[in-house]
């Protein structure tokens, strides 16, 4: 079967756009092929700084012929309707149509035959449309044609289009089309400097090999592997180890077509600046990697850069140029850091009075006061020193006003720790300045120092309550204030530190400290609890737990101790993995289903204790006895928070429940016996609610 080779050759494509652009090209072309009846075998897209490329193999040489039936007017319909039917179907007369009987009458049916076209003609039709409608996040027009209506928009000036199609055993044909004066062909170009001459290509294997010979590594993953391997080896040869950075690696691989790894250096005096500032400076400004001394774990005065050319001087000029720029950047960073050290953190805080946090929630200074007050309330609940927690909350945001954080926002918090230590603050206070932002995602580390935990909780709960109070809740996929992340952070802080803390009670304290009050303050705790429940489902699902178990536990009501909820869900999950758990769940659901039907029929509930005098069968008596024992045992276990023991107690219900449904007819002819047995079923449901609402659990 024939294969397609497509390349769109342009000026440099921004690295951040390349991966998505390659995926978009693959998706758009293959979707169009399938829509045209050309089902392919496989496709792969590639991106370099100067090209997007796509290979699709196993495309049929021709579309299949299509035969469709079109229903026409009734037999005897007006001539205008008949003529419209003949024109739409391409029939010459009604003699070529067939008649189909229908309950509403006899109708003409036209058979429309649409012969398939050659795949190369279909490609020549769809590819220009895809190129013209390509979804670049930003695009431009250029040259003399740019002023004309309908001129091509592309991320950077497009210079050439390669498009060939044909079977592996034959010379492929050019898919002929034109886009804004650029005609498709089979000519591409290699490295801009090392091999700029035009290259004639046929199919993908030939194309990839010739590009490699022309100093272009087409596959981004191959470029990444080469950069990482060479960088590690170069660092190791000098006695250092590479500080790996996946995001930087992805970006650098999008900046070069022929990666050449080199090492430069800078003056040791710059190492007096914190490692994170050095790394941010070198990474952000020059897209270079840093290395560290494996003996000390500290950064070395070396960096690794990735050039896009094999220089005749071995890269000496390139290294010197990067060293010159990095030296200037590090000098700036060192100046910022040393300048910051001259001003104490608390002396910066008055500026926050002029900085608005949110127009409805006041200034940053007001928010800091709220966090301080909340931290003082939370501290005793988690065993933290109140004075240290209050001090940490007071200083935690101050580094946002420093020069270094202004230049490198990604080191906020971290610089607060450095500056706090430099001015002699307690170690716990300093660490809290860094850690109060954590955890910022499911993979981020959770603070364990009590002071850090307190400030992190106060910060996140103040954020949640504040935006809830002004009705700025997340909607759908929109969450501009990262409230989902804040709620998940609260859950992880509580669960992973085993804290007995009600976030809803703390939220009530936070609400009391707000100057703005919601229209219905009484609804805020329940709304916020439901939001925590949703986030807890996400958290447990990521850990492999079942989200319906969270619903089953929350359905009991009054559940705002997140640690106990997590432990109860874990115990319930383990119980339901056993045969006893599965069978008891089935029995409980059967009881609930019968009760639902009968309650709906009788328009009443069957609450209240059953009458033991009406038990006529041994299975009824055995079940009633078991329910009484299990209720007491499970209730006691839950009271002492031993959920595993509660589940073990629940397991004792399985045999009598199974026997009851096997031997007892619930809807007895005697109305009193029937009512009594329905009450006994309700007791099953009531007994299981000691640990969870089993009706919320999916089978």
Kind plus residue range of the DSSP H or E element containing 111: strand 105-114
Highest-confidence segment of 457-471, 515-529, 629-643: 457-471
What's the pLDDT at 258? 98
| 660: helix, strand or coil | helix
- How far, in Å, CA of 368 to CA of 395, rounded? 9
Task: Please enumerate in sequence order all residues whose Cβ is within 8 A of that of 688, keeping only pairs 6 or more positions apart, or say none.
Answer: 584, 588, 650, 653, 694
- How far, in Å, CA of 641 to CA of 565, rounded? 10
What's the pLDDT at 558? 66
- The whole-chain average pLDDT of the chain stands at 92
- How far, in Å, CA of 285 to CA of 379, rounded? 41
What's the pLDDT at 542? 79
Q: Is the dihedral of CA 319, 323, 325, 329 positive or negative?
A: positive
Task: Please enumerate in sequence order all residues whose Cβ is within 8 A of that of 599, keeping only pairs 6 or more positions apart, or say none.
Answer: 605, 606
Q: Which two tokens stand for residue 233?
A: 């080896």
Burial code (b: 16+ CB inside 10 Å, e: under 16) for 147-176 equals: eeeeebbbbbebebbbbbbbeeeeebebbe
* Lowest-confidence segment of 228-242, 486-500, 578-592 by average pLDDT: 578-592
**C-alpha angle with apex 582: 577 to 587, nearest 5 degrees?**
160
Q: What is the pTM of this model?
A: 0.79
| 290: helix, strand or coil | strand
What's the pLDDT at 130? 97
User: Which pLDDT tens digit goes with each residue over 234-278?
Assistant: 999 999 999 999 999 999 999 999 999 999 999 999 999 999 999
Highest-confidence segment of 299-313, 577-591, 644-658: 299-313
Q: Which two tokens stand for residue 177?
A: 């089309």
User: Is there a contact between 181 and 143 (Cβ–Cβ < 8 Å)?
Assistant: no
User: Is there a contact between 107 and 77 (Cβ–Cβ < 8 Å)?
Assistant: no
Kind plus residue range of the DSSP H or E element containing 537: helix 524-542
Highest-confidence segment of 209-218, 518-527, 615-624: 209-218
> How would residue 322 be classed by pLDDT, with cut points 50, 70 and 90?
very high
- How far, in Å, CA of 303 to CA of 318, rounded? 13
User: Is there a contact between 102 and 72 (Cβ–Cβ < 8 Å)?
Assistant: no
Residue 355: DSSP 8-state? S
CA neighbor of 394 nearest in space, from 469, 451, 466: 451
CA neighbor of 288 nearest in space, from 239, 321, 312, 333: 321
In this prediction, residues 90-96 reach a mean pLDDT of 81
Kind plus residue range of the DSSP H or E element containing 362: strand 362-363
- How far, in Å, CA of 251 to CA of 177, rounded? 33
Estimate to the nearest angstrom the gap between the alpha carbon of 498 and the chain centroid.
27
User: Which pLDDT tens digit goes with each residue over 664-694?
Assistant: 998 888 999 999 999 998 888 888 888 888 8
Estimate to the nearest angstrom the gap between the alpha carbon of 9 and the chain centroid.
32
């Amino acid at each position: 079967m024939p294969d397609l080779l497509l390349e769109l050759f342009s000026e440099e494509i921004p690295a951040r756009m390349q991966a998505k652009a390659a995926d978009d090209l693959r998706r758009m072309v293959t979707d169009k092929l399938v829509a045209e009846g050309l089902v392919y075998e496989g496709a792969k897209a590639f991106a370099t700084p100067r090209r997007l490329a796509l290979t699709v193999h196993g495309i049929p040489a021709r579309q299949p012929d299509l035969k469709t039936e079109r229903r026409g007017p009734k037999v005897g319909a007006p001539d205008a309707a008949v003529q419209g039917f003949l024109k739409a179907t391409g029939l010459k007369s009604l003699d070529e149509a067939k008649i189909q009987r229908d309950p509403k009458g006899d109708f003409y049916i036209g058979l429309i035959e649409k012969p398939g076209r050659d795949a190369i003609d279909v490609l020549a039709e769809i590819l220009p449309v895809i190129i013209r409608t390509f979804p670049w996040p930003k695009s431009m027009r250029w040259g003399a044609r740019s002023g004309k209506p309908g001129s091509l928009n592309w991320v950077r000036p497009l210079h050439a289009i390669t498009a060939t199609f044909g079977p592996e055993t034959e010379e492929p044909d050019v898919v002929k089309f034109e886009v804004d004066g650029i005609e498709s062909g089979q000519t591409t170009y290699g490295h801009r400097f090392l091999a700029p001459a035009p290259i004639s290509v046929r199919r993908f294997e030939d194309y990839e090999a010739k590009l490699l010979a022309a100093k272009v590594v087409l596959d981004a993953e191959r470029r990444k592997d080469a950069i990482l391997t060479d960088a590690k080896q170069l660092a190791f040869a000098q006695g250092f180890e590479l500080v790996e950075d996946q995001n930087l690696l992805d970006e650098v691989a999008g900046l070069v077509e022929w990666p050449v790894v080199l090492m430069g250096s800078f003056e040791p005096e710059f190492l007096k600046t914190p490692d994170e500032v050095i790394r941010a400076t070198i990474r952000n400004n020059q897209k270079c990697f840093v290395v560290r001394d494996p003996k000390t774990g500290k950064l070395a005065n070396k960096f690794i850069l990735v050039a896009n050319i094999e220089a005749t001087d071995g890269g000496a000029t390139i290294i010197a140029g990067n060293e010159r720029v990095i030296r200037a950047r590090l000098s700036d960073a060192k100046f910022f850091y040393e300048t910051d050290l001259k001003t104490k953190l608390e002396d910066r805080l008055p500026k926050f009075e002029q900085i608005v946090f949110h127009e409805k929630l006041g200034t940053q200074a007001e928010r800091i006061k709220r966090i301080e007050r909340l931290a003082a309330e939370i501290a005793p609940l988690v065993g933290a020193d109140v004075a240290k927690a209050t001090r940490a909350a007071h200083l935690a945001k101050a580094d946002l006003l420093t020069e270094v954080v202004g230049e490198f926002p990604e080191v906020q918090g971290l610089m607060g720790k450095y500056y706090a230590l430099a001015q002699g603050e307690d170690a716990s206070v300093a660490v809290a300045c860094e850690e109060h932002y954590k955890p910022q995602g499911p993979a981020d580390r959770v603070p364990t120092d009590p002071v850090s935990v307190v400030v992190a909780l106060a910060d996140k709960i103040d954020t949640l309550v504040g935006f809830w109070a002004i009705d700025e809740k997340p909607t759908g996929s929109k969450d501009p204030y990262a409230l989902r992340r804040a709620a998940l952070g609260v859950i992880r802080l509580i669960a992973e530190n085993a804290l007995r803390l009600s976030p809803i009670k703390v939220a009530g304290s936070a609400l009391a400290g707000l100057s703005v009050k919601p229209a219905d303050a009484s609804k805020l705790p329940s709304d916020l609890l439901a939001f925590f429940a949703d986030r807890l489902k996400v958290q447990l699902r990521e850990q492999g737990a079942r989200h319906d178990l969270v619903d089953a536990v929350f359905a009991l009501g009054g559940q705002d101790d997140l640690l106990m909820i997590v432990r109860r869900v874990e115990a319930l999950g383990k119980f339901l993995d056993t045969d006893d758990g599965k069978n008891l769940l089935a029995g409980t659901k059967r009881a609930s289903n019968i009760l639902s039907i009968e309650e709906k029929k009788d328009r009443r509930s069957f609450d209240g204790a059953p009458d033991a005098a009406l038990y006529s069968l041994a299975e009824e008596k055995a079940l009633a006895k078991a329910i009484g024992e299990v209720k007491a045992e499970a209730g006691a276990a839950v009271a002492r928070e031993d959920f595993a023991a509660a589940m073990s107690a629940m397991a004792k219900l399985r045999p009598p429940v199974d026997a009851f449904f096997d031997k007892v007819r619930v809807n007895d002819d005697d109305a009193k016996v029937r009512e009594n047995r329905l009450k006994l079923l309700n007791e099953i449901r009531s007994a299981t609610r000691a640990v969870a609402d089993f009706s919320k659990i999916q089978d």
